[in-house]
Amino acid sequence: EPEVTQTPSHQVTQMGQEVILRCVPISNHLYFYWYRQILGQKVEFLVSFYNNEISEKSEIFDDQFSVERPDGSNFTLKIRSTKLEDSAMYFCASSALEGLEQFFGPGTRLTVL
């Protein structure tokens, strides 16, 4: 069964450093998403991406964040200068069509020290 994969599973970084989280969505999916979940809190939408551009983004997704699809398979989330409050689990998801079911990757746990 096709699945979304994410690397790394855990990333530890110093405050102010840049991090890149990587995702490989399901191969025939066209819509890609990033969500985050701070420990003990609900899952929150960050950004949606389609046809090589951002479709929608939340207030959390400020200028420190960017997304890219550098090739035909990877989808990345970059945080330019990490803050302590960026510590969370980051989930990538993909869907075949907008509004249809989204399938989530296993997540990257980001710890900012």
Cα dihedral value 27, 98, 103, 87, nearest 10: 110
Query: In the bound complex, what is the minimum distance in angstroms from residue 41's beta carbon to another protein?
Result: 8
φ/ψ bin of 107: left (φ > 0), alpha (ψ from -120 to 50), beta (otherwise): left
For another protein, the closer of residues 56 and 85 by Cβ is 56
Alpha-carbon span 85 to 95, nearest angstrom: 28
For another protein, the closer of residues 13 and 106 by Cβ is 106
For another protein, the binding residues (CB under 8 A) are 31, 33, 35, 41-45, 48, 50, 55-56, 58, 89, 91, 95, 98-107
Query: In the bound complex, what is the minimum distance in angstroms from residue 54's beta carbon to another protein?
Result: 11
Query: In the bound complex, what is the minimum distance in angstroms from residue 16's beta carbon to another protein?
Result: 27
For another protein, the closer of residues 65 and 103 by Cβ is 103
Query: In the bound complex, what is the minimum distance in angstroms from residue 37's beta carbon to another protein?
Result: 9
Are 88 and 38 within 8 A, CB to CB?
yes
Half-sphere exposure of 67 (CA within 13 A, CB side): 24
